[in-house]
Amino acid sequence: METQKIIISGNLGEEVEEAVGRLSPDRLFLLTDHTTRDLCLPRLRECSRLIANMEASHQISIGATDDNKTLESLVDVWTALGEGGATRHSMMINLGGGMVTDLGGFAASTFKRGIAYVNIPTTLLSMVDAAVGGKTGINFRGLKNEIGVFNAADTVILDTGFLRTLDRENLCSGYAEMVKHGLISDRQTLDELLSFDLGDVDYARLSDMVAASVAVKERIVAADPHEKGLRKALNLGHTAGHALESLAMEEGRTVLHGYAVAWGLVCELWLSVVHCGFPTPLMRQVAQFVRENYGHFAITCKEYDRLYDFMLHDKKNTAGSICFTLLGEVGDIRLDQHVSREDIFEMLDFFREGL
């Protein structure tokens, strides 16, 4: 997988036009969801003559939220590319959150065996996670990101000005991935993240923290682009988190991805305490931060078997054994940790009773 160019934006219009000009596509397509079409596309049009002059026929919009990260939406994008005359020399810009960059990246990667694409993430979650690192895909049969490919965007342009369009819930959703990056890096970074006031956002400070968070992911992805080893560190919180998210989807009480990751971090830090000696006081500090900012996802003992089944479908598993990424300390990453069914049920007890 080629290394993608990541730009911390200083002039969005110039950077978009430079990224497009470098590849000189025969046709340019722009993908949004219905929310970013209304809230973010006007800002992009204002600063980019190229986008302002695009023909309407080359703009594609799909339904918002993760519920639309589906095969049906993917087919709609492929169809629009075909009807718009896209060739292997065309290019697509994905303007949106993680759902748009995941699905749009997959559509571009597979249409005519692959066309170039650029990500312009508009949510905190997509800036620090989904848009960076080359993972693309869709949900399938109730499972998160079940179908997809590794294929990096040519360029990712991070303009934190878009963050001012977010409500608190979506800001918190992305921030959970930043906390994860803090946990797998160093204590100073984590302390700064846990002390940040999500109720009264300092956007200048947040912009610097986003750049630092992206740098953590860049370093790991560069060392292991296809998740054979170190990149599994980025899955901290996701084995339990994806299970909770899948259960929520199945029961019709859909939650934002970052909220599920935040709850998954609490679960997997508890496992880290039990299996790897992670400090209990620090686990409780993170749990308190999650409780205050993400609330609680109610589960009962009756749902443990279903959650376990979801974990069995996790892509990191080997030979039918559930694998977790755990920590011995902040930055002390323990990959491929096999955990028994009994311990997973105790983890769910802790989550149900303690958060």
Return per-residue pLDDT of the chain as tens, 355 residues. Answer: 566 899 999 899 999 999 999 999 999 999 999 999 999 999 999 999 899 888 777 999 999 988 899 999 999 999 999 999 999 999 999 999 999 999 999 999 999 999 999 999 999 999 998 888 889 999 999 888 899 999 999 999 999 999 998 999 999 999 999 999 999 999 999 999 999 999 999 999 999 999 999 999 989 988 988 888 999 999 999 999 999 999 999 999 989 999 999 999 999 999 999 999 999 999 999 999 999 999 999 999 999 999 999 999 887 777 678 999 999 999 999 999 999 999 999 999 999 997 6
Residue 265, classified by CB atoms within 10 Å of its CB into exposed (0-12), middle (13-18) or buried (19+), is: buried
Strands, E assignment, 46-185: 59-62, 91-96, 116-121, 138-140, 143-147, 155-158
Q: Report in angstroms the alpha-carbon separations of 231 from 193, 329, 334.
A: 21, 18, 12
Beta partners for residue 32, in sequence order: 61
Beta partners for residue 332, in sequence order: 329
So what's the pLDDT on residue 355?
62
Tell me 3's DSSP state. Answer: P
Question: Does the predicted model carry a pTM greater than 0.95?
Answer: no
Hey, what are 108's tokens? 């571009």
Hey, what are 157's tokens? 């342009």
As a dihedral over the C-alpha atoms of residue 260, residue 263, residue 265, residue 269, rounded to 10 degrees, the angle is: -150
Contact 32, 59 (CB under 8 A): yes
Instruction: Residue 195: count other Cβ atoms within 10 Å of its Cβ.
Output: 8
Residue with tokens 């039918």: 320
Residue with tokens 């749009």: 104
C-alpha to C-alpha distance for 137 and 146, rounded to whole angstroms: 7
Hey, what are 239's tokens? 């084995």
So what's the pLDDT on residue 234?
94
So what's the pLDDT on residue 133?
85
Q: Tell how many helices (H) and how many strands (E) occur in the chain.
A: 15, 10
Beta partners for residue 62, in sequence order: 33
Coil vs helix vs strand at 333: strand
Q: Report in angstroms the alpha-carbon separations of 47 from 35, 42, 218, 317, 336.
A: 19, 9, 27, 45, 46
So what's the pLDDT on residue 109?
98
**Angle at 337 (CA atoms; ends 218, 350), nearest 5 degrees:** 100
C-alpha to C-alpha distance for 202 and 267, rounded to whole angstroms: 29
Which candidate, 256, 275, 257, 290, places its Cα nearest to that of 347? 275
As a dihedral over the C-alpha atoms of residue 23, residue 29, residue 32, residue 34, rounded to 10 degrees, the angle is: 170
Contact 43, 162 (CB under 8 A): yes
Hey, what are 224's tokens? 């292991």
So what's the pLDDT on residue 142?
84
So what's the pLDDT on residue 319?
65
Tell me 61's DSSP state. Answer: E
Domains in the chain (CATH in brackets) are 5-165 (3.40.50.1970), 168-354 (1.20.1090.10)
So what's the pLDDT on residue 111?
98
